[in-house]
């Protein structure tokens, strides 16, 4: 960094030191035990033993001890390591909810970021510190990493550097993160599941799936995506590696680290390069196409159709803290009612979360986008005309109108509010932004008799072929 930039950072961060002093004094004076509160807006707060409410940016949560009743019945959990990848610019917003839900049940878990931290006793590992010194010192691609660490050394808030430049560091984390994970656990674990900070993983559904797979094989499973000639598991949806696959990747990467860092530099995506490293291993490790068990939608954005209906939902993506809490609590209630062996199907999530919302709305919601995707210009005159067009079209299940636009859909989506935060804990950045006249009178609707008939027409779900254990070709 040039000297003028360093001087500017020093000047801009002088106020940070006083704030940090106050934060240190207040945090060290607090008792160590407390509880986490998740507000209606999805914000996470720590409430200490004295009852004081401390916002998430000031205090990280304490751990909930293993043995919590919500972790009961998770057979095989001892064979699993979970690894969460995040970034220091978002860690206070996204990590706390994982520590008080999923990760509290998995004793062997790791958190990787782009800067080392002690997060209320949770060690945060800097994945990029494992990139070669030459790359970290010289690559223009990693300039933001150097700026980020300079910023933090001055005592400033890393979230001030949130944006595309920090996001682009993410692709560099995959290979060193996975390699270092194998160095830590080795063959002591049969399975490794990798997730991101806006991914929810159902342990209740994951563990029975693992019991159907052979951990002695090199297995790499994820939601399949193609870029060019490379098929890979989408990182944000989560991906599974057996111990053999983690070892294969670590060996191939470490044996030619300089080469693979060059590949990462020129490529768009770390999850794609990860698949290329596995393909280059001896023997090659091919992706097990795990969709829809592993998938990248939310309760709000998923198309509720026969593709998903009778499959267990292992992951959800683009989920904020409120959404993770909803899913976690539902999973806990399910296990208390049905035990640990009955999987939670997409059908069950629809019945619990989506259908009640549609019934309560009596088939229409103002200021709403239900993600209908087929434009009908001849029906854009008014919401009544748009609704009538859908009702007169046999295949139409839902419609959405806003000024100068009518859209219809042949699958069920819940969607989200146009002007407020998204529904069901979906991440904010997935919603289209509208304002003013573009929203005036906007409304979405569903043809409820058809929606109900479709649900009934799905019939009972068979236990056969419920789990994905091999590729079809």
Domains and CATH numbers, the chain: 60-289 (3.90.550), 362-461 (3.50.4)
Check pLDDT > 80 for residue 13: no
Q: Are strands 122-126 and 34-38 parallel, antiparallel or unpaired?
A: unpaired
Can you tell me the distance from the alpha carbon of 419 to that of 435, in angstroms, rounded to the nearest whole number?
7
Q: Give per-residue pLDDT as tens, 226-262.
A: 999 999 999 999 999 999 999 999 999 999 999 999 9
Q: How far is CA 87 from the centre of its chain?
A: 13
Helical spans, DSSP H, in 77-171:
91-99, 133-138, 143-153, 164-167
Q: Give per-residue pLDDT as tens, 83-104.
A: 999 999 899 999 999 999 999 9
pLDDT at res. 210: 98
Report the run of H or E that residue 230 belongs to, with start and end: strand 230-233
Spell out the residues 6+ positions from residue 18 whose beta carbon is closer than 8 angstroms to its own. Answer: none
pLDDT band at 430 (very low <50, low <70, confident <90, very high): low
Cβ-in-10-Å burial (0-12, 13-18, 19+) of 123 comes to exposed
Q: How far is CA 342 from the centre of its chain?
A: 24
Q: Do the Cβ atoms of 130 and 164 come closer than 8 Å?
A: no
Check pLDDT > 80 for residue 138: no
pLDDT band at 143 (very low <50, low <70, confident <90, very high): confident
Query: What average pLDDT does this structure show over 325-347?
Result: 95
Q: Are strands 122-126 and 191-196 parallel, antiparallel or unpaired?
A: unpaired
pLDDT at res. 33: 34
Neighbours of 117 (CB within 10 A): 18
pLDDT at res. 435: 63
Query: What average pLDDT does this structure show over 29-53?
Result: 38
Closest listed residue to residue 448, CA positions, set 351, 344, 364, 328: 364
Where on the phi/psi map is residue 258: left (φ > 0), alpha (ψ -120 to 50), or beta? Answer: alpha
pLDDT at res. 140: 76
pLDDT band at 49 (very low <50, low <70, confident <90, very high): very low
How far is the CA of 43 from the CAs of 46, 102, 104, 170, in angstroms? 10, 18, 19, 24
Helical spans, DSSP H, in 30-104:
91-99
Residue 398, strand partner residues:
409, 446
Q: What are phi and psi of 155, to 5 degrees?
A: 85, 15
Q: Do the Cβ atoms of 434 and 416 come closer than 8 Å?
A: no
Q: For 40, which DSSP code?
A: T
Check pLDDT > 60 for residue 62: no
Question: What is the Cα Rg of the chain in Å?
Answer: 24
pLDDT at res. 422: 75
Sign of CA dihedral 286, 288, 291, 297: negative
pLDDT at res. 165: 75
The token pair at 117 is: 């931290």
Query: What average pLDDT does this structure show over 390-417?
Result: 96
Residue 34, strand partner residues:
48
pLDDT band at 370 (very low <50, low <70, confident <90, very high): very high
Q: What is the pTM of this model?
A: 0.83
How far is the CA of 192 from the CAs of 28, 181, 291, 434, in angstroms? 36, 9, 18, 41
pLDDT at res. 369: 93
Closest listed residue to residue 98, CA positions, set 120, 74, 76: 120
pLDDT band at 67 (very low <50, low <70, confident <90, very high): low
Residues, the chain: 473
Check pLDDT > 80 for residue 10: no
How far is the CA of 409 from the CAs of 358, 359, 440, 448, in angstroms? 15, 18, 21, 13
pLDDT band at 423 (very low <50, low <70, confident <90, very high): confident
How far is the CA of 241 from the CAs of 80, 357, 369, 395, 445, in angstroms? 10, 37, 37, 41, 42
Check pLDDT > 90 for residue 301: yes
Report the chain's mean pLDDT, rounded to a whole number. Answer: 85
Higher pLDDT, residue 165 or 375 = 375
Check pLDDT > 50 for residue 195: yes
Closest listed residue to residue 432, CA positions, set 411, 415, 447: 415
Report the run of H or E that residue 402 belongs to, with start and end: strand 398-402
Closest listed residue to residue 59, CA positions, set 42, 40, 39, 37: 37
The token pair at 336 is: 């208390």
């Amino acid at each position: 960094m040039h000297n003028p930039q360093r001087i500017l950072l020093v000047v801009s961060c002088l106020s940070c030191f006083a704030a940090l002093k106050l934060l240190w004094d207040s945090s060290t004076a607090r008792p160590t035990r407390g509880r986490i509160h998740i507000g209606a807006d999805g914000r996470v707060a720590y409430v200490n033993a004295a009852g004081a409410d401390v916002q998430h940016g000031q205090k990280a949560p304490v751990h909930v001890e293993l043995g919590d009743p919500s972790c009961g019945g998770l057979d095989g959990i001892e064979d699993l390591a979970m690894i969460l990848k995040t970034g220091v610019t978002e860690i206070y917003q996204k990590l706390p909810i994982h520590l008080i839900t999923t990760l509290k049940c998995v004793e062997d878990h790791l958190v990787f970021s782009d800067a080392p931290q002690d997060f209320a006793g949770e060690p945060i590992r800097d994945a990029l510190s494992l990139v070669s010194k030459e790359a970290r010192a010289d690559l223009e691609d990693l300039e933001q990493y150097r700026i980020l660490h300079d910023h933090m050394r001055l005592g400033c808030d890393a979230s001030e550097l949130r944006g595309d430049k920090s996001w682009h560091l993410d692709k560099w984390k995959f290979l060193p993160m996975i390699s270092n994970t194998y160095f830590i656990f080795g063959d002591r674990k049969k399975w490794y599941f990798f997730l991101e900070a806006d991914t929810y993983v159902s342990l209740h559904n994951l563990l029975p799936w693992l019991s159907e797979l052979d951990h002695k094989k090199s297995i790499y499973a994820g939601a399949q995506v193609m870029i060019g000639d490379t098929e890979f598991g989408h990182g944000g949806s989560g991906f599974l590696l057996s111990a053999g696959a983690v070892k294969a990747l670590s060996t191939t990467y470490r044996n030619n680290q300089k080469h693979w860092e060059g590949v990462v530099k020129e490529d768009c995506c770390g999850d794609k390069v990860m698949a290329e490293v596995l393909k280059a291993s001896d023997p090659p490790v091919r992706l097990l196409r795990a969709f829809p068990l592993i998938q990248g939608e939310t309760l709000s954005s998923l198309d509720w159709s026969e593709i998903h209906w009778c499959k267990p939902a292992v992951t959800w993506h683009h989920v904020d803290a409120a959404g993770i809490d909803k899913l976690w609590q539902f999973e806990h209630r399910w296990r208390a009612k049905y035990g640990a062996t009955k999987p939670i199907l997409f059908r069950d999530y629809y019945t619990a979360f989506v259908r009640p919302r549609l019934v309560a709305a009596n088939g229409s919601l103002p200021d709403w986008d239900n993600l209908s995707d087929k434009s009908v210009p001849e029906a854009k005159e008014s919401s009544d005309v748009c609704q009538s067009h859908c009702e007169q079209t046999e295949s139409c299940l839902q419609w959405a109108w806003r000024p100068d636009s009518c859209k219809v859909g042949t699958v069920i989506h819940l969607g989200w509010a146009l002007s407020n935060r998204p529904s069901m804990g979906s991440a904010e950045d997935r919603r289209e932004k509208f304002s003013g006249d573009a929203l005036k009178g906007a409304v979405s609707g569903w043809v409820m008799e058809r929606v109900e008939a479709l649900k009934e027409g799905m019939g009972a779900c068979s236990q056969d072929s419920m789990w994905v254990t091999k590729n079809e070709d």
